[in-house]
Structure 1
Amino acid sequence: MRRDTFLKSLAVLAASSGLPLSALAATNLKMMLPANPGGGWDTTGRALGKALIDAKQVDTVVYENKGGAAGALGLAQFVNASKGDPNALMVMGAVMLGGIITGKPPVSITAATPIARLTSEYNVFVLPANSPFKTLAEVVEQLKKDPASVKWGGGSRGATEHIAAAMIARAVGVDPAKINYVAFRGGGEATAAILGGNVTIGGSGYSEFAPYIESGKMRAIGVTSGARLKGINVPTLKEQGIDVEIGNWRGVYGAPGITAAQRKALTEMVIKATQSKAWAEALEKNAWTPAVLAGEAFEKFVDDDFASLRATMVKSGMI
């Protein structure tokens, strides 16, 4: 029997007998990365794809980048093109929720199928090496004098670094509505703007800026964590008298319309991938905190975080 005929026979057997899709001999996975190359979602998706292959859960992974509108463009394409596809995943996270709250796109995350949360990461704020400012205190002083003169560079409107900037402004007595936030379509664009001095201060996950911080091209001046990150000598905002703490997280969703059995199989594949050597190496390399959560617990977490982010954004004057 030809291999492709054999696999089709297995697929029929799986559909009729409840055999989990992960039991199939081969899987070709499609991964939607709803951002431009170089950012956190791109890095996370490709690391997960490598881990899925390393854990022998899939044979191949095909990636597609579709940036814009805090992931809303990629989300819409994923929902419309992948209906009922059990071999499709999309990377998402807190940034997408923030973008949905501010942008109110026609397609929401509720159209797709929750699979698992993967990582948690805090934002770091940086200055270009040639900046006239040396510390966060100096940036805050200028912010108080003239809010519009301080350009904050980061991800899409509603990203965690955008929310953090608004929270910082509010904490130091500046109207959050007056902050000058410059949104970029992806981490690569934001990084280029910071290195080029086109923004005053930039924010993102530490992993995106790590090479430039270590090479001296960027100066890290604060992280949004409650305590200093392990192995990273950067003071928290709270240490510097700014009562702000906010984290970022990333996860994956499946296509709309997949069955409960297909969702279970996808979830099992992702969980096994997070137990692989390749994933452990990605966590260490990118300074990601493992935060695996699946099933109904993940679905509830997303609902709760959506409500929490909205409340924070209202309080910070963003909406």
Structure 2
Amino acid sequence: MATMFLAATSLGAGGAIAQAQEFESITLLAPAGPGGGWDQTARALQAAMTDTGMVRSLTVENIPGAGGTIGLAQFVEREKGQGDAMIIGGLVMVGAILTNDAPVKLDQVTPIARLTGEYEVVVVPASSELQTMDDLVAALKADPGAVAWGGGSAGGTDHILAGLIAQKVGVDPSKINYVPFSGGGEALAAVMGGHVAAGISGISEWIGQIQAGTLRAVAVSSPEPVEGLDAPTLRETGIDLELTNWRGILAPPGLSDDQREGLIELVDAAVQSESWQETLQTKGWENAYLPGDEFAAFLDQENERVTEVLKSIGLVK
């Protein structure tokens, strides 16, 4: 799709005239099914960007599969050089690219901004005989293959956390029975239906079911207890571990400097909006905003870190 924008002027500091881009349309691609963290992030950004008044029309598109790598490949092929589309990504995508040996890598897209950080929660069905994290660990030690873990795509944050938990309690991470799902809604259904023994996800995806009592939270991956979540930290259960899932937004390859800067300005305005600030508070997302070049540098470091983690738990050779 062709980039369409108008120049909008406003008075900046000292009365100087500042240029800003007004976009005719923006497409936000969530490379996962509805209901998951990427979908929630895309729709929250849709509302925040609408608040800025810089975009006339915003569309969210879902392309699920393979930890976001299917959507990423389509995005790069379809949107190359176009300045009116962005894709949501994050730690899950970094891991999925490595474990799937995906043909499209993150160095083929244009980093716009890191947006949020979110802690992971470990849950069991409310009716489960496993009442605590100690119970879950005991079952895992007794027979790792008999304990099915449900979560997001293979190699993503949820899978990484399951492997790290196993490693920390003395179980071979390669022996864990991890069942990947392409979206938070599918994983939730599997946990609530008792098709897996335990589930792992970002807090915001399952907090409603936890508070309603249909899921029992047995641990959270934060360094400190999380307000509104009745669950101990992993460290409080004796597992010396914490993990934060970050999410960000990327643009296609082949953009001009003006196209890239226009999208960075749009996202910068969106994250300062009242709508976005309310979303951070209601969903319990940490503000991890890091724009442009800083985000690009972070991505390089994160790729190295995740590669080492996945090798240590046997997911990457």
Unaligned stretches of 5+ residues in structure 2: 8-16
Q: Is contact 2:5–2:24 with CA below 8 Å preserved after alignment?
A: no
1:254-286 Cα distance to aligned partner (Å, 9 max, x none): 111111111111001101100111101111121
TM-score, normalization by structure 1 = 0.92
Q: Which residue of 1 aligns with 2:14?
A: none
Cα deviation for residue 62 of structure 1 reads: 1.1
Cα deviation for residue 225 of structure 1 reads: 1.3
Cα deviation for residue 8 of structure 1 reads: 7.4
1:138-194 Cα distance to aligned partner (Å, 9 max, x none): 010011010011000000001111111111111111110000000001111001101
CA distance, structure 2, for counterparts of residue 21 and residue 81 of structure 1: 29
1:45 to 29, 42, 47: 42
List 4+ stretches of structure 1 deviating above 6 A.
none
The reply on whether 1:181 has 2:178 as its aligned counterpart is yes
Q: Is contact 2:5–2:21 with CA below 8 Å preserved after alignment?
A: no
The reply on whether 1:23 has 2:21 as its aligned counterpart is yes
CA distance, structure 2, for counterparts of residue 40 and residue 187 of structure 1: 7
Q: Which residue of 1 aligns with 2:313?
A: 316
1:111 to 108, 112, 118: 108
> Structure 1 residues 10 and 39, CA, compared in 2 at 3 Å: closer, same or farther?
closer
Q: Is contact 2:112–2:249 with CA below 8 Å preserved after alignment?
A: yes
SS at structure 2 position matched to 1:243: coil
CA distance, structure 1, for counterparts of residue 40 and residue 222 of structure 2: 21
Q: Is contact 1:22–1:266 with CA below 8 Å preserved after alignment?
A: no
Q: Is contact 2:119–2:244 with CA below 8 Å preserved after alignment?
A: yes
Structure 1 residue identity aligned to 2:182: R
CA distance, structure 2, for counterparts of residue 9 and residue 89 of structure 1: 15
Q: Which residue of 2 aligns with 1:242?
A: 239
The reply on whether 1:253 has 2:254 as its aligned counterpart is no
Q: Which residue of 2 aligns with 1:75?
A: 72
Q: Is contact 1:29–1:62 with CA below 8 Å preserved after alignment?
A: yes
CA distance, structure 2, for counterparts of residue 318 and residue 249 of structure 1: 20
Between the aligned residues of both structures, percent identity stands at 45
Cα deviation for residue 227 of structure 1 reads: 1.4
Q: Which residue of 2 aligns with 1:297?
A: 294
Q: Which residue of 2 aligns with 1:120?
A: 117
TM-score, normalization by structure 2 = 0.93
Q: Which residue of 2 aligns with 1:269?
A: 266
RMSD, aligned CA: 1.7
